[in-house]
A and B are shown apart, each in its own frame.
Chain A
């Protein structure tokens, strides 16, 4: 098992090296005007160095004054030493900004994921056990509608109904106007109220695929031979479904959830941007729009690493949960 994990880890690292190379080449191909703009701004500060010197320094700082291949290795060195440089947009070290905003995203993602599981698993199982019934149709249709909803349109509708018409929540932001004057509990509730709409958006938009996944897997399990055996031996239907079938449905589910844990750290780029929630997604959006190369570079690399980690985790979870799978022993 350890050998298997190590081998997968090694492959992941190699893939990551290539992904970083692609991202780096893309960043290098972007028009250089960002650095020049930056240098122009910096050189206009009182008592600053002249423009040319800033250009040279910035180019050197981000390894832009060398060839792409050499620059890539410099970038790799920085990556290994976790030196991501300073964000241009936020003018603080990238990692500092990251650690400041990441937890909002994680909290939001975790709550949304928990809600999705609570909603999707029972409904998916219900739909599968009553295949082709009205319930099944309702669940399937609901799931497809959820998948088909564009995040931005749904969020805008929610804003119209709950923020504008009913006035229950604010349109944007994580904290209200009077946040600083509230006591600790008040602050907590203030933030919680601001997270309601984003979390609803996240849940509605992504609960559908989880529901369908549960349903499909449950159907597969229900068609398996051992379920027929369980029925043949006269077990009550409840026991067949909730004891025998459900446990086996959990295998793909655990795999899926294990694989999606790292993506909690990726933030919800679109949703956070729509609601101006200062999480990693919105922060990165601002950085990317502003052409903040250090932060964008970091975020893209981080996302790639998360995807790889997710794949690895789901494979490990699969081999741990499913007794039929034995790898690398």
Chain B
């Protein structure tokens, strides 16, 4: 028979622990989470509140363009060109050469393509045209310009001045553009009443050439959309606007996309992990510190001190913690407390709420240990009280305490996450896993952007699970009665 080497208690405990697969798995998860949160935050190229932008194309409707299909009229003087005359002119033009109205004979002459003149007694009284001059000028100028345009002449004379005309319809006087003739009616879109000078020629050119995009003089990108049903072109300007790159899908640059504020999700997840884990640890530290002191005193001294402390524990045990935290959170909301201060407040409150449970545990342990032989021996040896407590009593309480603390780390992280989820815990700009998931309260995010809230939830569940597995494993490992 092989001789077994003697092993220390710690050695045995470690062996029992590592034989428990779940516990080792939990330890693995926790190690990963710590590396992810603390190292990841340092390695990540971004900071937790770095905002990313993207250029978004914004389409602005500038104008609507239609082709003029009905004749327009202009008159030398309106008294001779009454509405009845105009109506008759419109009725007979292109069909009859003349008509009579109120004993006057009117003659319709074709003056050019789509340009008619109405004469009575050899004198011009009005014209009908499809092509439109803009800006509108006097009758004489309009007539001269249209006549030249409709007959495709390169220039015309009006009031002693010569105007040049190019095939597109631009009218120049001494190289300066003074007007423009086109079949197209251009109306500014809503909120866009004044169109710049260059606009009409540019749009006309694009439409006659069948282009769908064209450029303005300042390099603006304009595009034309033709609506066949309405026989309408709409002119839109596409401009680039810088906006927060919110809810960007996962990509090479942002492995888990970005959140509502255009911040890198993965980085926020790492910093959120830091916050959740650090809060968890500090809270448990505070509550176990208070719990060990009060529980230790109660257990060791017994009698009326024990009674007093335990009644205190009973009282604090009855104070409902979740509603209390919600009320305090709402109050801190109301007082607009600085997010950093708020985090500290949250830790202190959570820590203070946790001590009665630990005090009960420690007291119970100490009460049973105090009666055991080794304590009697310590007393018989004449050891000091402080030495008896700290060297002989407390070390025996510690295994139970560690198990309890590990388990309550998990539940503390859950509590903090729940509060942050409700918007009453850790606040923006600080990330915490809870307040990251808070985004999913918005139904749109819930359905469309899984990458915003599912990873945070998975991290949260894994960490809590890790602590619970670890605690469970430690409990079994510390129990010498377990033989595995």
Contacts and interface: CB of A to CB of B under 8 A. Distances in A.
Contacts of A289: 326, 330
A307 B437 contact: no
Interface in B298-332: 311, 314-315, 317-320, 322-324, 326-327, 330-331
B334 A300 contact: no
Interface string A103-143: 00000000000000000000000000000100001001100
A289 B329 CA distance: 8
Closest 7 CB pairs of A and B: A303-B320, A148-B464, A153-B457, A148-B465, A304-B318, A18-B315, A152-B421
Given A149-B461, A156-B446, A300-B323, A19 B330 contact: no
A19 B318 contact: yes
Contacts of A132: 484
B460 interface: yes
Candidate in A152, A157, A299 with the most chain B CB atoms within 10 angstroms: A152
B318 A284 contact: no
B400 interface: no
B464 A150 contact: yes
A159 interface: yes
A273 B422 contact: yes
Interface stretch (B44-52, B340-348, B410-418): B410-418
Interface of A: 15-16, 18-19, 22-23, 26, 30-31, 33-34, 132, 137, 140-141, 144-145, 147-153, 156-157, 159-160, 164, 171, 269-270, 273, 284-285, 288-289, 291, 296, 299-300, 303-304, 307-308
B323 A303 contact: yes
Contact of A23 (B319, B330, B331, B434): B319
B465 A144 contact: yes
Contacts of B335: 31
A205 to B, nearest CB: 10
Given A31-B335, A33-B334, A152-B418, A288 B327 contact: yes
Interface string B430-443: 00001001001001
A19 B421 CA distance: 28
Interface string B346-373: 0000000000000000000000000000
B472 A171 contact: no
B478 interface: no
Contacts of B421: 150, 152
Contacts of B89: none
Most buried by B among A22, A153, A157, A307: A153
Contact of A291 (B314, B334, B443, B468): B334
Contact of B319 (A159, A160, A296, A304): A304
Contacts of B457: 150, 153, 156-157
A156 B318 contact: no
A296 B443 CA distance: 29
Contact of B315 (A22, A31, A152, A296): A22
A148 B461 contact: yes
Given A15-B318, A307-B318, A151 B323 contact: no
A309 to B, nearest CB: 10
A230 B334 CA distance: 65
B326 A22 contact: no
Interface string B253-289: 0000000000000000000000000000000000000
A285 B437 contact: no
Contact of A270 (B322, B443, B453, B484): B322
B32 to A, nearest CB: 15
Most chain A beta-carbon neighbours within 10 Å: one of B323, B437, B472? B323
B326 A285 contact: yes
B320 A300 contact: yes
Nearest to A307: B318
Nearest to A19: B318
B469 interface: yes
Contacts of A159: 446
B460 A153 contact: yes
B250 to A, nearest CB: 18
Interface string B146-171: 00000000000000000000000000
A150 B414 contact: yes
Nearest to B448: A164
Interface of B: 22, 311, 314-315, 317-320, 322-324, 326-327, 330-331, 334-335, 410, 414, 417-418, 421-422, 434, 437, 440, 443, 446-447, 450, 453, 457, 460-461, 464-465, 468-469, 472, 484
Residue among B322, B450, B484 with max Cβ neighbours from chain A (10 Å):
B322
The prevalent SS among residues of A at the interface is helix
A75 to B, nearest CB: 16
A136 to B, nearest CB: 11
Contacts of A147: 410, 464, 468
Given A141-B22, A273-B422, A299 B461 contact: no
A144 B469 contact: yes
A22 B315 CA distance: 9
A5 to B, nearest CB: 17
A145 B461 CA distance: 8
Contacts of A308: 318
A199 B414 CA distance: 20
11 contacts: A16-B318, A148-B414, A150-B418, A153-B460, A153-B461, A164-B446, A270-B322, A288-B323, A291-B330, A291-B331, A307-B318
Contact of B440 (A140, A148, A156, A303): A156
A151 B440 contact: no
Contacts of A300: 319-320, 323-324
Contacts of B453: 156
Contact of B323 (A18, A150, A299): A299
Contacts of B331: 30-31, 291
A126 B465 CA distance: 23
Given A288-B327, A299-B323, A160 B446 contact: yes
A136 B318 CA distance: 35
Given A147-B468, A153-B437, A273-B422, A22 B460 contact: no
B334 A150 contact: no
B349 to A, nearest CB: 11
Nearest to B469: A144
A270 B418 contact: yes
A170 to B, nearest CB: 12
Given A148-B461, A150-B418, A153-B437, A160 B447 contact: yes
A120 to B, nearest CB: 17
Nearest to B468: A144
A171 B443 contact: yes
Nearest to B327: A288
A200 B453 CA distance: 21
Nearest to B407: A147
| Residue with the highest number of chain A CB atoms closer than 10 Å, among B311, B314, B327 | B327
Nearest to A33: B334
Contacts of A19: 315, 318-319
Given A160-B446, A307-B317, A148 B468 contact: yes
